[in-house]
Amino acid sequence: MKYDLIIIGGGPAGLNSAIYAGRYKLNALVLSKNMGGVAATAYKICNFPSYIEIRGFEFMQKMIKQVENLGVPIKYEEVIKIEKKANNFKVSTKKSEYECKKIIYAGGTERIRLDVPGEGKFLGKGVSYCANCDASFFKNKKVAVVGGSDAALTSALLLSEFANKVYIIYRKDNFYKAEPAWMELVKKEKKIETIFNEEILEIIGKENVESIKLKSGKNMKIDGVFIETGSVPSSELASSIGVKINDNKYIITERNQETNVKGFFAAGDVTSNSLKQIIVAAAEGAVAALGAYQQIKKEV
């Protein structure tokens, strides 16, 4: 089936693109390998207008419901290839092939791994990249959170609701990138202990995580390791058809979110914007949808 618009990505940028596409009455389709993107894993969202605070999963469920209410289908299929065909595009997933006039690429980012021994071996057996998904499995246990960003601090706060003890392990001497509000809450929480100027060299265990070896030479008994060391943009599919990316692999866009490839728009954390926040991603999604709609109307 041929669509006016295919939106790749199911996070705030992709879903808000779909909301606007639905209101513009475009024949649109959302393709996403997961529900809600990284935003769905957020412990709490406290800086989006209209919500004092809301769980990330709940927030993204509301966006999905709004998309579905506008009649825009969402298919949970991972896109593996994009091809430019004259004035159209061909999008291939592991299940199907689709054609469209325009694309909005909102592929988001992928988590950075520690690349230490034991990380892969114990994935799902004590190693996690999603506190919101797995925190409840560590009731009355000891866990470590690796990282110093807002994501690391909020993960530690969530884990403190379940675990007996939460260690934040960060390789620098302070939380330079975290919001002061999160830093204050972490400081007040008695279950959380911060260890600066330290790194994990190895994750150790038999069937599950049992301990970690630190750069200082210390070994700590730990039941779980939550990795929040940042992310990298998922721009490979876009760059494969000639979309320009910067030195950090973020997609370069114009004011209307269009890339150098005509008809190919990008929005959200995968773009070179300076503020990686839900409100910015959603706004870029809206701008991209308008740009795609205007092009389609001119070409009719």
Q: Is the pLDDT of residue 200 over 90?
A: yes
Q: What is the mean pLDDT of residues 144-168?
A: 96
Torsion of CA 207, 208, 214, 217, to 10 degrees: -40
pLDDT of residue 174: 94
pLDDT of residue 158: 94
Q: What is the mean pLDDT of the chain?
A: 94
Whether 32 and 129 share a structural domain: no
Q: What is the mean pLDDT of residues 223-248?
A: 95
Q: What is the per-residue pLDDT across 23-63, written as a single tens digit (0 to 9) for each?
A: 999 999 999 998 888 888 887 888 899 999 898 899 999 99
Question: Which of 227, 255, 279 is the last residue in one of the domains?
Answer: 227
**Cα–Cα dist 258/290, whole Å:** 11
Indicate the number of domains in the chain.
Answer: 2
Q: Look at the alpha carbons of 274, 278, 284, 285 in this order and tell me if their dihedral is positive or negative.
A: positive
Q: What is the mean pLDDT of residues 222-246?
A: 95
**Which spans in 78-162 are helix H?**
131-134, 150-159
Whether 208 and 278 share a structural domain: no
Q: What is the mean pLDDT of residues 174-183?
A: 92
Whether 136 and 219 share a structural domain: yes
Whether 61 and 150 share a structural domain: no
Classify 102 in phi/psi space as left (phi over 0), alpha (psi -120 to 50) or beta: beta
Task: Decide: 33 and 78 in contact? Cβ < 8 Å.
Answer: yes
Q: Exposed, middle or buried: residue 188 (CB in 10 Å: 0-12, 13-18, 19+)?
A: exposed
pLDDT of residue 230: 86
Taking residue 76's Cβ as centre, other Cβ atoms within 10 Å add up to 13
Whether 10 and 47 share a structural domain: yes
Q: What is the per-residue pLDDT across 92-147, written as a single tens digit (0 to 9) for each?
A: 999 999 999 999 999 999 888 999 999 999 988 999 988 877 899 999 999 999 99
User: Domain range spanning residue 30?
Assistant: 2-110+231-299
Q: What is the per-residue pLDDT across 95-104, written as a single tens digit (0 to 9) for each?
A: 999 999 999 9
Whether 278 and 237 share a structural domain: yes
pLDDT of residue 43: 77
Whether 105 and 244 share a structural domain: yes
pLDDT-derived band at 274, boundaries 50, 70, 90: confident
Q: Is the pLDDT of residue 210 over 80?
A: yes
Question: Which residue(s) pair with 7 in the sheet?
Answer: 30, 104
User: Angle formed by the axes of helices 150-159 and 180-188, to 10°?
Assistant: 30
Q: What is the mean pLDDT of residues 76-91?
A: 94
